[in-house]
Amino acid sequence: MERLKIVSGGQTGADRAGLDWAINNSISHGGWCPKGRKAEDGPIDGRYQLQETPSSNYSQRTGAKPPLVQQGLPTYEVPVCS
């Protein structure tokens, strides 16, 4: 049985929707967000299990994702219907 974990940077929109879905369905979630839980709409809610990067720069959060692939965590691209 494959374990599922939703990994996100906590951005507004689809990232938060994925985190909310994970919480509502008891699915593990995590990821990285800028220092201070910075987001374009204000601080990211503490209910999201995100680790803060050392910097408040958004690019550091984005760069934190590749190590997951190096650790053998499968990643999937899921088509989105509009």
Q: pLDDT of 59-74, one tens digit each? A: 665 655 555 544 554 5
Domain of residue 65, residue span: 5-70
Residues of the chain with pLDDT under 70: 1-2, 59-82
Residue with tokens 């994702």: 65
Asked if residue 77 belongs to a domain, the reply is: no
Asked if residue 56 belongs to a domain, the reply is: yes
pTM: 0.70
Element containing residue 80 per DSSP (H, E):
none
pLDDT score of 9:
84
Asked if residue 32 belongs to a domain, the reply is: yes
Domain count, the chain: 1
Count of CB atoms situated within 10 Å of the CB of 31: 22
Asked if residue 49 belongs to a domain, the reply is: yes
Asked if residue 24 belongs to a domain, the reply is: yes
Asked if residue 23 belongs to a domain, the reply is: yes
Asked if residue 39 belongs to a domain, the reply is: yes
Give me the CATH number covering residue 28. 3.40.50.450
